[in-house]
Amino acid sequence: MRRDPMGIALSTVNRLAGSSWLDRLKLRKPTEYIVYTGTKAGFQAINTTQKEWRRFRGAMASGSDPDTAPRALFDLSLTEDQQMITETVRQIAEEVIRPAADAADEAMAVPKEVHDAIHELGLTLQAVPAEYGGVAEKPDPVTSVLIAEQLAWGDFSIASAALSTYSVAQALARWGSDNQKQRLLPAFCQDTPLTAVFAVDEPAVLFDPMKPGTLAYRKGNQYILNGRKSAVIRAAEADLYLVLAMVQNEGPRFFLVEGGASGLYTAPDPAMGLRAAATGQLVLEDVAVHESTMLGEKTPADCSRLMDYASLMQCALAVGTCQGIQDFVIPYCNDRVAFGEPISHRQAVAFAISNMAIETDSIRLVLWRAASLAEQGLPFATQAAQARALAAQHALTIGSDGVQLLGGHGFVKEYPVERWYRDLRSIGSLTGGLHA
């Protein structure tokens, strides 16, 4: 595997965070503060170094380079960059997100310190191209999926809230016009970034995102939007909404609508799951937006393709949560003794846990394949649909089995499995407000 500056930097951060001498010298808190507050500058410096390093290697290369040799036909191993990013995000999920998840679910809001910790990780910078203040060189669906999976291992609902702005930045970077990118993307890289969310789902039976009930009609150089959106993540606190609406004779389109626009209202829309994501309804009554706010403007975004990217993130959240259930249930069943032996010795329990692993990996493999195709610019709609179908079918079963395996403990809020089960219900019910 290659070893580049990004991998070296993340490896150093991980080793530093795990060092016992920080506790002995009482330096852990100051060190963590330095690491967190230096993330943005660090990622920017690493990005610049990587570019120069690649230019140097390109100029000096003669003959074959073992680092650029073709990988095996079926190689699912992560690059060192991806492995280090995965480990770093998992550490945040384990140390910051999971301990706060129960309180966030009760309060129906993510604590500020959790948002701050995730922001200091520099995730939004990974979505914004370098010329607009971020560190991304190109869209990277595979890394986006890996990040979402690890955050969801901590908590599905908090991960959804944390990734909402990241997802809108990804969509703007991929689909936005030059004017939209220049005007909005730098705002995602500020110390206090713009809060942006998707508004896709609607309170309608058998809702089809390709046939939204929210309508937009042209009036001069403006569009007038009318409709109602449901299950909008962080609806009440967003500064910017990416609203899906049907344009007559044109089809579904996304519009950039600023928070506080005349005729735009929000209302709480609590659900059985996604409670920490503070879902709400968005009501649009004759909301006027300039024609330049259509995502893509002269070349509008392909809504069907955009929803395929959204499926990748939804499936990644499902995989991370299912993995979290599996990792929680196995030690519980090994430690729980009934009739003189651990309950994991019972065939029914062992088979249920085995099925969890099989089903989680089946979703993950199809998901990674779809993300890999998307990253290569190849058609991936079929694979994204397969991953979504597997997630809708198996994720809920895994959540239900997790509750069953804990018996009475699975039903009470003292244990997190019931919360994970409630969150997983959203996979088959909502289109999701995220974008890879």
Mean pLDDT of the chain: 85
List all residues 6 or more positions away from 136 whose beta carbon is below 8 Å from its beta carbon: 125, 126, 127, 128, 129, 130, 173
Phi, psi of 325 (to 5 degrees): -60, -45
More confident position, 362 or 436: 362
pLDDT at residue 230 is higher than 90 = yes
| β-bridge mates for residue 159, sequence order | none
pLDDT recorded at residue 89: 94
Residue 187 contacts residue 194 (beta carbons within 8 Å): yes
Distance CA 195, CA 278 (A): 13
- Cα gap 5→385, rounded to integer Å: 36
Q: Give me the pLDDT at residue 138, please.
A: 79
Query: For residue 66, how many other CB atoms are within 10 A of its CB?
Result: 6
Residue-wise DSSP of 348-406: HHHHHHHHHHHHHHHHHHHHHHHHHHHHTT---HHHHHHHHHHHHHHHHHHHHHHHHHT
What is the structure's pLDDT at 436?
Answer: 67
**pLDDT for position 79:** 85
Terminal C-alpha separation, the chain? 25
Cα dihedral 163, 168, 171, 172 sign:
negative
Statement: residue 49 has pLDDT above 50 = no
Instruction: Check residue 32 and give its pLDDT.
Output: 54
Give me the DSSP letters along 1-43: ----HHHHHHHHHHHHHT-THHHHTT-HHHHHHHHHHTHHHHH
How far apart are the C-alpha atoms of 158 and 99, rounded to whole Å?
11
Residue 390 has pLDDT above 80, yes or no: yes
* Confidence label for 432 from pLDDT (cuts 50, 70 and 90): low
Residues 128-166 have pLDDT tens digits of 999 999 888 877 899 999 999 999 999 999 999 999 999
pLDDT band with cut points at 50, 70 and 90 for residue 14: low
Residues in the chain: 436
Give dist(CA 197, CA 208) in Å, integer.
19
Closest CA to 289 of 213, 201, 226: 226
**pLDDT confidence bin for 386, thresholds 50/70/90:** very high
Q: How far apart are CA 383 and CA 253, in angstroms?
A: 24
Q: Is the pLDDT of residue 3 over 50?
A: no
Which residues touch 137 (CB under 8 Å, ≥6 apart)? 47, 50, 51, 129, 130
Tokens of 359: 């089903």
pLDDT band at 242 (very low <50, low <70, confident <90, very high): very high
Q: Is the pLDDT of residue 241 over 50?
A: yes
> Tokens 């949560």 identify what position?
321
Give the Cα separation of 381 and 168 in Å (integer).
20
Instruction: Please determine, for residue 36, whether its predicted confidence score (pLDDT) is greater than 60.
Output: no
Confidence (pLDDT) at 309: 93
Among the residue ranges 24-38, 50-64, 366-380, the one predicted with the least confidence is: 50-64
Q: Rank 48-52, 117-121, 339-343, 349-353 by mean pLDDT and report only the highest.
A: 349-353
| pLDDT attached to residue 249 | 87
Which percentage of the chain shows pLDDT scores above 90? 64
Is the confidence at residue 358, as pLDDT, over 80? yes
Of 67-71, 250-254, 282-286, 414-418, which gets the smallest average pLDDT?
67-71
The bridge status of strand 264-268 relative to strand 222-232 is unpaired
- DSSP sequence for 391-430: HHHHHHHHHHHHHHHTGGGGTSTTSTHHHHHHHHTTTTT-
- Residue 2: the pLDDT is 41
User: What are the CA-CA distances from residue 366 to residues 19, 163, 305, 338, 393 (Å)?
Assistant: 37, 22, 17, 38, 14
What's residue 27's pLDDT?
54
Given a cut of 60, is residue 70 above it in pLDDT?
Answer: no
Tokens 């080793």 correspond to what residue? 15
* 419/433: higher pLDDT: 419
What token pair was written down for 45?
A: 């410096």
The yes-or-no verdict on residue 285 having pLDDT over 60 is yes
Ordered domains of the chain (ranges, CATH): 5-58+76-196 (1.10.540.10), 197-293 (2.40.110.10), 303-424 (1.20.140.10)
Least confident of 1-5, 204-208, 287-291, 387-391: 1-5
**Residue 33 has what pLDDT?**
52
Name the DSSP class of 219: E
Once rounded to an integer, what is the mean pLDDT over residues 319-323?
97
pLDDT score at 177: 92
Whole-number percent of the chain with pLDDT over 70: 82
Distance CA 333, CA 335 (A): 5
Reported confidence tier of residue 77, pLDDT bands at 50, 70, 90 = confident
Cα(328)–Cα(326) distance, integer angstroms: 5
User: Between 195 and 120, where is the model more confident?
Assistant: 195
The pLDDT of residue 67 = 47
